[in-house]
Structure formats: structure tokens, C-alpha cells
């Protein structure tokens, strides 16, 4: 299970809304499945259908979370016009098997839909997502 405190979840949704109509992306860190830090990262592709994290920001975020004794719990991104399920590209580019992949659909911007998945060697399994 991936647990996200409501203020961090709201901040993540705001970040993704701010990036609309492009995909937004970032990292979630914490311990024991509970998120305690949010790291928004620039999408250098500036695309409505794909993302690539800005490398310097991504490395800096990973260094910060490791220095704080935290684990990378999830990689998040939005699907501005698509469902909250992994695309073929998402599955093919899932290089961090220890992290969840959290996808937020903004098809209905008033009611974003977030879901989390484990993606390992092309196999996708939904992970329960809890908000505190």
C-alpha cells in the first residue's frame, strides 16, 4: 500500500494541474510505504503524451531523499487526456522496479483520478492507494 498525507497529495495534484495540458512528473519519498516528501520535477519533453524528468532536478531530488534517510516510494506523472492506467510507453520505460508508478488522470480536471502500480518486467499490478 502507498499512503499519502492529504496535504502532499493536494500539492502533487496542484503541480500536475499547473502543468496541464502537458504531462507533469515528479517523485514521492518516505518510509514504509508512507509518503513524507514531494519532489516536483520539470518535464523536459513538454508533451501532453510523454514525460522525461529534467536530469539535474531528478538527481538532486534523489540525493536529497537519500541524505534524509528516505526511500523513493513512487514516481508520479499525469495523463492530461488519458486514463489513470500505465500506457505501453509507461510500462516499457519503468526502470525503477522498487518504486510505485502513480498516474493521475486529468480527463476530468475537477475530479482527478489517481492510481498506483507496481511495474516489473512488463507486468503491471495495481497497488492500493490511501490518503490520510
Residue 82: the pLDDT is 95
Query: What pLDDT score was predicted for residue 67?
Result: 98
* pLDDT reported for residue 66: 97
Question: Which CATH number fits the domain that encloses residue 125?
Answer: 3.40.140.10
Task: In whole angstroms, give the CA distance from residue 58 to residue 72.
Answer: 11
Could you tell me the mean pLDDT of each successive run of 10 residues in the chain, 132 residues long?
A: 98 98 98 98 97 98 98 98 96 94 97 97 96 94
Q: How high is the pLDDT of residue 56?
A: 98
Mean pLDDT of the chain, nearest integer = 97
User: Residue with C-alpha cell 511495474?
Assistant: 119
Residues 6+ apart with CB under 8 A from 122: 91, 92
Percent of all residues in the chain with a pLDDT value above 90, rounded to a whole number: 99
What is the total count of domains within the chain? 1
Cell numbers 528516505 correspond to 70
Show the domain range for 97.
2-131
Percent share of the chain, pLDDT over 70: 100
Amino acid at each position: 500500500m502507498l499512503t499519502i498525507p492529504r496535504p502532499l497529495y493536494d500539492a502533487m495534484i496542484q503541480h500536475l494541474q499547473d502543468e496541464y495540458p502537458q504531462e507533469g512528473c515528479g517523485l514521492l519519498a518516505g518510509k514504509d510505504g508512507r509518503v513524507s516528501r514531494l519532489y516536483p520535477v520539470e518535464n523536459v519533453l513538454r508533451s501532453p503524451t510523454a514525460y522525461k524528468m529534467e536530469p539535474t532536478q531528478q538527481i538532486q531530488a534523489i540525493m536529497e531523499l537519500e541524505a534524509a534517510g528516505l526511500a523513493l516510494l513512487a514516481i508520479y506523472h499525469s495523463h492530461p487526456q488519458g486514463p489513470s492506467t500505465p500506457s505501453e510507453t509507461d510500462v516499457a520505460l519503468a526502470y525503477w522496479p522498487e518504486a510505485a508508478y502513480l498516474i493521475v488522470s486529468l480527463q476530468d480536471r475537477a475530479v482527478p483520478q489517481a492510481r498506483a502500480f507496481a511495474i516489473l518486467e512488463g507486468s503491471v499490478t495495481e497497488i492500493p492507494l490511501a490518503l490520510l
